Amino acid sequence: LPMALYFTSPIAGEGRPMPEQLVAHSKFPIIATGWSQGKVTIAGDDGERISIFGRTTTPSAMMWHPTEKILFVGWRDGQLSTWSEESGEVTNQAAVHEGLSVQMLQLTASAGILLTSSKSCVVAVWQVVGDKLENLWAVKTDVPMSLAAHLSFPTNKGPDASRGNASMQQNQQDDDIVFAVTGPSTNVIYLLDESQQPVSLINLDRDTTAKGLLWDDSKRNLIVLTANNTLCQYHIDFDLKVVPGQKSRISTGPNADFNLIRMGWVGPGLVGTTCGEDVIRVFSLHNESMYTVRLPEPPSAKSSSSMLPMQHITTIAAGSFCANFSRVFDQEINVIKIYK
């Protein structure tokens, strides 16, 4: 698996970076970072700041529009905001999350629908209109939901489907309200669709929960990373029948921190995982092989004889494959490393 470090840059900060609030755009060389002092910064590929905005609370969830320079932000007070490079403005959206922290943002494949959830056990569905959001509906769940994956289902899969309407059908499919959702206090992955009633889709082992969800559209597989660091694959066919597939236990070292389990796409058919160590493990869904990528030694370590604490990865940002890590010695040093 060829990988090369091509850029390392400090990001100008506003306090301490939020461990999970680093999101790289999948199409453009821009990165959004959430900070402990309630700020969100947008930086380019040279680390220079493009924009900054904030509120009196801290960001709790962020997601980029897949094809536009539009950032969706959830805050710890239940508020939602959008930032658009075109307008240069931040728009605050109507709050439906009862003043409690937004835990999850998930767009449909064509980015026409946004799913949000909060600690108030409210899951809301929004229509995306440019950089504005219009609430379609909201529903209460038994437990808070913090993870989601959009499942693309064709609107017409029969042999008589019109070829002339293929593009329209694809757009409808990519914006269908069909999500797999789960939370930290349940071992059940639910299906949430236009019926507005979550129903059980997958039951994980009793002693574990999900720490990450990804949808492999090419194979129609839901990829689940569990709290015991096992990568599970579930095939979901057109009538929502679930067929369990391969389970791969991911090895860890002696310094693993299971509170820092993360997962994200790092390339076509490549899933990156980390567990609070200084390595990223990349699993190939095509040949079921595992690769290990270590963090490069920081420049300061090469010129100093002092014993430095071990670096640990806190985030994998899908798209540009960014590993955000911090180490503490006399002062905290925050570095973003980008690989391809």
DSSP 311: P
φ/ψ of 40, rounded to 5, equals: -125, 125
Going across the sheet that includes 279-284, the strands are 261-267, 270-275, 279-284, 290-294
Q: Rounded to an integer, what distance in angstroms lies between the CA atom of residue 173 and that of residue 219?
A: 16
DSSP 281: E
pLDDT (0 to 100) of residue 13: 60
DSSP 301: H
Round the CA-based radius of gyration of the chain to a whole number and report it. 20
pLDDT (0 to 100) of residue 49: 86
pLDDT (0 to 100) of residue 210: 96
Question: What SS3 state is found at 81?
Answer: strand
Q: Rounded to an integer, what distance in angstroms lies between the CA atom of residue 281 and that of residue 56?
A: 37
Q: Give the residue from 271, 272, 293, 281 showing the smallest Cα distance to 219.
A: 271
* Residues of the chain scoring pLDDT < 70: 1-14, 17, 19, 153-173, 296-312, 314-340
Q: Rounded to an integer, what distance in angstroms lies between the CA atom of residue 146 and that of residue 165?
A: 36
pLDDT (0 to 100) of residue 109: 86
Q: Are the beta carbons of 311 and 321 closer than 8 angstroms? A: no
Q: Are the beta carbons of 201 and 191 closer than 8 angstroms? A: yes
Total-model pTM: 0.82
Q: Rounded to an integer, what distance in angstroms lies between the CA atom of residue 167 and that of residue 19?
A: 39
Q: Which residues of 217-247 are buried (b: 16+ CB within 10 A; e: fewer)?
A: eeebbbbbbbbebbbbbbebeeeeeeeeeee
Question: What SS3 state is found at 8?
Answer: strand
Q: H helices within the chain, ranges in order?
A: 166-174, 299-302
Question: Pairing between strand 261-267 and 242-249?
Answer: unpaired
